[in-house]
Structure 1
Amino acid sequence: MPALTDVQTRPHPTEAATERRLAPDDLVVTKTDLRGHITYANETFLRVSGASETEVAGRAHNLIRHPDMPGGVFRLMWDTLGAGEEIFAYVLNRAIDGPFYWVLAHVTPTRDRSGAVVAYHSTRRAPSRDAIPPVRDLYARMRELERGRPRREGAEASLAWLTEHLDSQGLSYEEWLWSLEGDL
């Protein structure tokens, strides 16, 4: 297995990159601290991400971030979690050993006895295959808006566009997501 490096220094995937698909019964689970550093990863996460437990423990979860994943979606995720709410999101990841994979993520705050958020818990599963093309198209538009801008500014611009785009359809991001997933 290749040594882990920062996501920014790994080679950019090509169109011919291999897709690693989750099985319908796969549940990918991680827990992170408030900064997004991995404190727990289940065997499915390790298998799908192509990493060992020692390689991911304490590392920022973005070590599997695919460069084609728009920052605006992560901005939405962190804003939602910062408000103490759960979020469902489509996420494109890149395994340490190169393949890309899509997940439908469910991220929730973990609270202590007093109700304070102390960590995050994420469970991911395979998204509907029919959902991926419209998600890919929407995310490509968001990435276009981010290109050439500082990271934070780009993420804010693409999230603003996403919000306006979905508002024009009378949908929130979560409503749009579930409209693509159909009956579960």
Structure 2
Amino acid sequence: MKRQIQPSAIERMMREGDFIVSKTNPKGIITYGNPTFIEFSGYSEEELLGSQHNIVRHPDMPRAAFQLAWDTIQSGKEFFGYVKNMAKDGSFYWVFTHITPDFDPQHNIIGYTSVRRCPKRDAVSKVEPVYRQMLQAEQGAGARDAIAAGTKVLLDLLNQTGMSYEELVFSL
């Protein structure tokens, strides 16, 4: 079921000591959400469990950013990034996320754990225009070529800075 939520301009600020934790299966279906995730998302535990994790995806986030995250974690590596999420009531909250794959004894990926922290405000102000540029490129390219167009914007920025994606994230 696709939920039609109207984004609002209301921002909810994470508290400095907050940790939003969630776990998913390999397909991104939520299997666990801690009380802070439930609080910030605005959904009940029952609504979250069994839902795709993109239930909290904000439309301001470029698809290419999530493709990068998925490509990274599906390859068995950890991912770090700044993400704008949307709550059930349309409000939004920024997070600094760290996603790690969970492995079974044979080193097969059996799920993912995401821990989100309060982001640095100056980092958010630096990443927001990059995401806006990526999103504009995606919208201009059309659905079929959107991810490639958004990725190109990010790769061009990385080439200009001479940094890897992870170096860029940690430099903010």
Normalising by the residue count of structure 2, what TM-score does the alignment of the two structures yield?
A: 0.95
Q: Is the 8 A contact 1:105 1:122 kept in 2?
A: yes
Task: Note the residue ranges of structure 1 that are not aligned, 5 or more in a row.
Answer: none
2:50 maps to 1:58: yes
Per-residue deviation, 1:68:
0.5
**Percent of pairs with identical residues:** 44
How many pairs are equivalent? 172
1:6 aligned to which of 2, 7, 31: 2
**Which SS does the other structure have where 1:137 is aligned?**
helix
The aligned amino acid for 1:94 is M
Task: Note the residue ranges of structure 2 that are not aligned, 5 or more in a row.
Answer: none
Taking the TM superposition and a 5 Å limit, the aligned residue runs for 1:95-106 are: 95-106=87-98
Call closer, same or farther: CA 1:34–1:104 in 2, change over 3 Å: same
Taking the TM superposition and a 5 Å limit, the aligned residue runs for 1:107-146 are: 107-146=99-138
Which segments of structure 1 move beyond 3 Å, counting only runs of 4 or more?
A: 148-152
Deviation per CA, 1:29-67: give whole Å up to 9, x if none.
000011101000000000011111001110000011000
Per-residue deviation, 1:81:
1.1
- RMSD between aligned alpha carbons? 1.3
Cα distance in structure 2, aligned partners of 1:22 and 1:74: 21
**Which SS does the other structure have where 2:145 is aligned?**
helix
Normalising by the residue count of structure 1, what TM-score does the alignment of the two structures yield?
A: 0.89
